[in-house]
DNA sequence: AAGTTATATAACTTATTGGTTATATATATC
DNA sequence: GATATATATAACCAATAAGTTATATAACTT
């Protein structure tokens, strides 16, 4: 996943309306009108949010007559989660190195310690 | 984690410069100047990015003389990941229900099927 | 064919973002 | 005390975002 793709995914997730739309899609495909109903917001506003979600690959659109059913997709979420997991792992590994170092220093510093 | 906190976290992650700053912090605390060095960007721009990251709780600032060392924090990431994981789980559960339904229909529809 | 419904697009407004330069503040050093 | 360094703040600019209303387009209904 390219940085730009990560950008698109996090941008899409960074809005409570869009996350609420996704949450509603967990119970299956919905039309734009169905998605718009619960929000105090115009239909074009919802269409704009859907475009942002689609651009991130978080939803795909079908065609059923005049309706354009919206369906959620998991792939970008998995890629984003994977970036975050890798990062947290790297952080915790570095904390652990620091912890061991502090522990070693407390046990009794020697001329071999990287600091001192 | 409140929706506003999730907003702050995803907004902070939705910029490649900020993700790069976080990545650099994986190797330990850094001063603002150290963080700014690799970027083709002014120091105030980096300070602004740090403020966004701090607002999300993704970094904390220390004090060491005139330096304000920046340190990464994992907590908001874990909360965000948790939201995403829950969501993916919900989605996959609903897909699975749909899949079983389609399977059942293909095996031979009956008057008890929820559609038909 | 006329009217209705579902959705998208356009044009506009306001607020926010990401950057800039210039400057202020606080600490360190000579 | 004067100067230098680390960081923050202010004022500004251009681009983007999130909403609006009005309108266009396409498909469905009668």
pLDDT category of residue B109 using cuts at 50, 70 and 90: low
**Is strand D in 7 Å reach of the CB of A15?**
yes
Side-chain-side CA neighbours of B65 within 13 Å: the count stands at 1
Instruction: Round and report the angstrom distance from CA (B70) to C1' (D3).
Output: 27
Least confident of A30-39, A93-102, B45-54, B69-78: A93-102
pLDDT digits (tens, 9 = 90+) for A39-70: 999 999 999 999 999 999 999 999 999 999 99
pLDDT digits (tens, 9 = 90+) for A70-113: 999 999 999 999 999 999 999 988 876 676 667 777 775 554 44
**Is strand D in 7 Å reach of the CB of B33?**
yes
The pLDDT, as a whole number, for residue B111 is 46
Q: Where are the domains of chain B?
A: 1-106
Chain B residues whose beta carbon lies within 8 Å of the beta carbon of residue A11: 10, 14
| Cross-chain residue pair B26–A78, CB shorter than 8 Å | no
Chain A residues whose beta carbon lies within 8 Å of the beta carbon of residue B72: 91
The pLDDT, as a whole number, for residue A105 is 74
pLDDT above 50 (res B76): yes
Q: Which of A4, A74, A84 sits opposite B88 (nearest CB)?
A: A74
- Measured CA to CA in angstroms, residue A86 lies from A2, B65, B81 at distances of 15, 33, 12
The pLDDT, as a whole number, for residue B96 is 65
| Domain over B1-106 is classified CATH 1.10.10.10 | yes
Q: Which of B80, B90, B94 sits opposite A84 (nearest CB)?
A: B80
Instruction: For an interface test with A, give the residue of B6, B7, B13, B30 to mutate (most A CBs within 10 A).
Output: B13
The pLDDT, as a whole number, for residue B46 is 98
Percent of chain B with pLDDT over 90: 75
**Is strand D in 7 Å reach of the CB of B32?**
yes
The pLDDT, as a whole number, for residue B108 is 57
Q: Which nucleotides of C are covered by protein (CB under 7 A)?
A: 5-11, 17-22, 26-28
The pLDDT, as a whole number, for residue A51 is 97
- Return the closest nucleotide (C1') to the Cα of A64: D27
pLDDT digits (tens, 9 = 90+) for A3-31: 899 999 999 999 999 999 999 999 999 99
| Cross-chain residue pair A81–B85, CB shorter than 8 Å | yes
The pLDDT, as a whole number, for residue B114 is 44
């Amino acid at each position: 996943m390219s940085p730009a793709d990560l950008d698109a995914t996090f941008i899409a997730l960074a809005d409570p309306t869009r996350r609420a739309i996704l949450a509603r899609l967990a119970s299956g495909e919905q039309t734009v009108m169905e998605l718009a109903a619960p929000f105090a917001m115009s239909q074009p506003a919802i269409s704009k949010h859907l475009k942002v979600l689609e651009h991130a690959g978080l939803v795909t659109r079908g065609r059923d007559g005049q309706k354009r059913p919206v369906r959620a997709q998991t792939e970008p979420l998995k890629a984003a989660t994977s970036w975050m997991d890798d990062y947290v792992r790297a952080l915790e590994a570095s904390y652990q190195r620091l912890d061991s170092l502090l522990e070693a220093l407390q046990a009794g510093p020697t001329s071999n310690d990287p600091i001192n």
